[in-house]
């Protein structure tokens, strides 16, 4: 009798454990990060700002330097506006204020607005081409031509904001790191 009681008690303890272990768990589908980021990027975006990507100081004619801080607006900051106006006659970035970026699901893109400022100052992306993500989906790469690539590091992305690290060529300075801030339309 003791033996049957032990077997019965043991069966009562093991049965629920076997039942729990044997239940199939619902697994959520694993989303490929590259596919997810492409879906996030796909769509129409409006430029909100271009900001200086690094802090620096600019030498002034006649001596001295002006300090520029990371995050200063290339569109609205009066110091940057005055420096660019003195250097090239006008602040070319203000003409990009209403640029629209369209990243299509087929891998093509188009920039409606100003991308060439004249005098050699330009955004490498050009007006149209193809796009893809690279480096674990951390880089949005634009291909304005077959043999040209313009990488944009994705600093952050949400459902309605995209912050990209870009490089803009300025004569006399070379490629200058900047932040392109876009808002989804």
Task: Give pLDDT, residue 26.
Answer: 63
Quick check: 42 pLDDT over 60? yes
Tokens of 95: 């003409």
Tokens of 167: 């490089």
Tens digits of per-residue pLDDT, 154-168?
A: 999 988 999 999 888
Tens digits of per-residue pLDDT, 91-126?
A: 888 888 889 999 999 999 999 988 776 655 556 677
CATH of domain 33-184: 2.40.128
Domain ranges for the chain, please list them.
33-184
Q: Tell me what the mean pLDDT of segment 45-72 comes to.
A: 90
Task: Give pLDDT, residue 36.
Answer: 83
The reported pTM is 0.77
Quick check: 24 pLDDT over 90? no
Tens digits of per-residue pLDDT, 129-152?
A: 999 999 888 999 999 888 888 899
């Amino acid at each position: 009798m003791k033996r049957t009681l032990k077997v019965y008690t043991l069966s009562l303890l093991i049965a629920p454990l076997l039942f729990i272990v044997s239940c199939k768990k619902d697994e959520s589908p694993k989303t490929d990060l590259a596919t997810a980021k492409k879906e996030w990027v796909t769509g129409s975006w409006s430029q909100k700002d271009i900001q200086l990507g690094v802090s620096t100081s600019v030498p002034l004619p006649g001596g001295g330097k002006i300090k520029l801080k990371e995050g200063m607006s290339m569109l609205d900051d009066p110091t940057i506006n005055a420096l660019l106006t003195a250097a090239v006659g006008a602040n070319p970035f203000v003409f990009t204020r209403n640029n629209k970026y369209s990243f299509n699901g087929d891998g093509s893109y188009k920039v409606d607005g100003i991308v060439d400022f004249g005098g050699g100052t330009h955004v490498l992306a050009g007006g149209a081409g193809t796009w893809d993500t690279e480096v674990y989906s951390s880089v949005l790469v634009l291909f304005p031509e077959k043999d040209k690539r313009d990488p944009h590091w994705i600093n952050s992305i949400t459902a309605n904001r995209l912050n990209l690290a870009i490089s803009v060529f300025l004569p006399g300075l070379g490629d200058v790191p900047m932040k392109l801030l876009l808002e989804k339309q």
